Structure 1
């Protein structure tokens, strides 16, 4: 859920908004963009899932990257148009065999 009331929606899905919010927050805190591995760890998804989302966000014009440069993701959406970043901590699931 984003925090816009009187403004038009920026056109991204809730999931895309969370990825954009994470990239923006990570960049502000660490003073450099996240690697795809950082995004993978935060969302608890597979590397192909992260890569596909990055490509989708880039094609939609929400981010840009420098070809061949690592950690080059730049969010093109204004910070005030980004949703609040939700906590995506996923506890490790374990299975217990029944005796």
Structure 2
């Protein structure tokens, strides 16, 4: 069972990654691969990986070691400001 945080603090860039992960998971029923984030943000593989490591270290996501596409967001969806702009209503859990 996940523990979602209502008081999470993250940078704007981290928020964009979290919102992308949430939106991708919402749309496709599974979390994105790092290559999906690389294409979306137009950055290098090491940049994406470092962001994922940072998000995990800061307690914003959780991953299962050795399992691809296992990112779980630990931030409440309503705390992702970009979701309002996209018109996504976080009415159902992922």
Q: Give the alignment's TM-score, normalised by structure 2.
A: 0.80
Give the C-alpha shift of residue 30 in structure 1: 0.3
- Say yes or no: does 1:29 pair with 2:27: yes
Task: Give distance in 1, aligned partners of 2:82 and 2:13.
Answer: 12
Task: Give distance in 1, aligned partners of 2:66 and 2:31.
Answer: 15
Unaligned 5+ runs, structure 2: 1-5, 86-94
> How much is the aligned-residue C-alpha RMSD, in angstroms?
1.8
Aligned to 1:79: 77
How many equivalent pairs are there? 80
Q: How does 1:56-95 map to 2 (within 5 A)?
A: 56-84=54-82
Which consecutive aligned stretches of 4+ in structure 1 deviate over 3 angstroms post-superposition? Answer: none
Q: Give the alignment's TM-score, normalised by structure 1.
A: 0.76
Give the C-alpha shift of residue 61 in structure 1: 0.3
Task: Give distance in 1, aligned partners of 2:25 and 2:62.
Answer: 14
